[in-house]
Chain A
Amino acid sequence: EPEVTQTPSHQVTQMGQEVILRCVPISNHLYFYWYRQILGQKVEFLVSFYNNEISEKSEIFDDQFSVERPDGSNFTLKIRSTKLEDSAMYFCASTRIAGGSTEAFFGQGTRLTVV
C-alpha cells in the first residue's frame, strides 16, 4: 500500500538553528500539506501546497516557515530560526485531488525538539 514517508523521525536542534523536515508524498498525489501537533494538543493545519505554490496557510505559518518541492518527489518544510515553542510533531500529508471527497494520507511524523 502506498504511503507518505517522513524523515527524520526525530530531530533535536538548538534554538535559533534552521531545520528542514522532509517528506515523500504518495507518487500520484498532487496536493501536499504540513500539520503539526504540540504535545497533548490538537493537530493543527500549517500549509497546503499545489502546483508549486502555497494554496493556503494558517496564521501559525509565519515568515519563519517555508515549504518547497525541490524535485519531483520530496516536499520539505523549513523552519529558519527555531524557537522552543516549535517543538512538536510535524505531519506531512498528501491527497490525490482537491475537493470534498478525497482522503488524505499522513506520514508517521517528525518529532522536533528544540532545546
Chain B
Amino acid sequence: DAKTTQPPSMDCAEGRAANLPCNHSTISGNEYVYWYRQIHSQGPQYIIHGLKNNETNEMASLIITEDRKSSTLILPHATLRDTAVYYCIVRGPNNAGNMLTFGGGTRLMVKP
C-alpha cells in the first residue's frame, strides 16, 4: 500500500469548513484512499473512501486530484465533536491481510 503524508495538526473554527490534506504520491491505479478518525482513544471510525472520483456522504466530502497524488477531506461545518485525529490511508486490493496501516494522522482541533 502506498505511503501517505499528513500535517501533524490543524485548527479550525467551529462552524467553518475543515480541509484536511493528504499526499499519496506513490499511489497505484487500483488503490483506494480511505479516511478514518479517532476521537480521544475511541475505536477508529470510518468516514469516507474513494478511488478516482470525488465522493460525498453525510459526514464529509473527499476531493481527489486528477493525478490521484493527493486528496482533501472536507468537513463542511466543523463542530466541537469533530475534534479528533484524522487518518488518511491508502489501501489496494492486493493487500493480503486486508489490513489498514495507520500513520500519525492529523490532529484536528475545532475551536469555539
Contact = CB atoms under 8 A, between A and B. Distances in A.
A91 B32 contact: no
A35 B101 CA distance: 10
Given A56-B96, A56-B99, A57-B97, A91 B43 contact: yes
Given A37-B41, A42-B102, A42-B104, A103 B46 contact: yes
Task: Report, as a range, how many residues of chain A touch the other chain.
Answer: 20 to 34
A65 interface: no
B interface secondary structure, majority: loop
Contacts of B104: 42
B38 A100 contact: no
Interface residues of B, number: 28
Interface string A74-102: 00000000000000010101010011111
Contacts of A105: 46
Residue of B49, B92, B98 with highest tally of chain A CB at under 10 A: B98
B52 to A, nearest CB: 12
Nearest to A101: B32
